[in-house]
Amino acid sequence: MRTVMGGFVRTMAAVAVGAVLVTGCGGGSEGGSKGPAVFGREAAQADLDAAGEAAGLPGGAKPESPEPEGPSGGPATEEARKRKDVADRMAACSAVRAAGDLKPGEAERQFRGVLAALAERGWKEHRPVERTPVGEDGFVLTAQYKKRGWTLFARHTDADVFRMTAITATEDACAARFTDAELELLEG
């Protein structure tokens, strides 16, 4: 059975393997003359970027792939190749805003500011911000929001000198096409 946290881990795993975000999995159209606008990847990315800018959260950070490269420049092992394929497919139906090296005292305020700005853009809180202690002085904040067939996972980590915020929105219909085995591969 998939757990709520497992869903978050799987979504974040897609980000962690450095997938390139491209349009796909059905929601790419932003409307047209025939009916209401479809909320797709571009619209989700625009929401994340606008909310990040409104909150002063730096943007443009793209996580690097932790997979070692083989002689051909691609992943070195068969499992790594499969993981990259799944991550690329997941990224096709995801939008991401991530920032690292955040300043102490500003990072949590920026995270909460992003969430407030997303709410102003129509994202509805599905799970409120939860604070989980990490070590003696650190913590992780997580929250979940939904909008028009998309689920957004927000995570802020503040531990010692490491501060990072990652906001990932994934199209529900596209994410439902992944098997449990594929999602477990992302958790690697």
Is 70 in contact with 78 (CB distance < 8 Å)? no
**pLDDT tens per residue, range 108-164:** 999 999 999 999 999 999 999 999 999 888 999 999 999 999 999 999 999 988 899
- Reading phi first (left if > 0) and then psi (alpha if -120 to 50, else beta), residue 103 is in beta
176 pLDDT higher than 90: yes
HEC per residue, 97-118 = EEEECCCCCCHHHHHHHHHHHH
Q: What are phi and psi of 15, to 5 degrees?
A: -70, -40
pLDDT at residue 156 in the model: 96
* pLDDT confidence bin for 6, thresholds 50/70/90: very low
Dist CA 67 CA 81 (whole Å): 9
Burial-class residue 150 by CB neighbours within 10 Å (0-12, 13-18, 19+): buried
pLDDT at residue 24 in the model: 40
**pLDDT tens per residue, range 57-78:** 997 644 444 444 445 556 668 8
pLDDT at residue 160 in the model: 83
- Reading phi first (left if > 0) and then psi (alpha if -120 to 50, else beta), residue 97 is in beta
pLDDT at residue 187 in the model: 76
23 pLDDT higher than 70: no
Please tell me the pTM assigned to this model.
0.73
Is 166 in contact with 98 (CB distance < 8 Å)? yes
pLDDT at residue 105 in the model: 83
Higher pLDDT, 106 or 15: 106
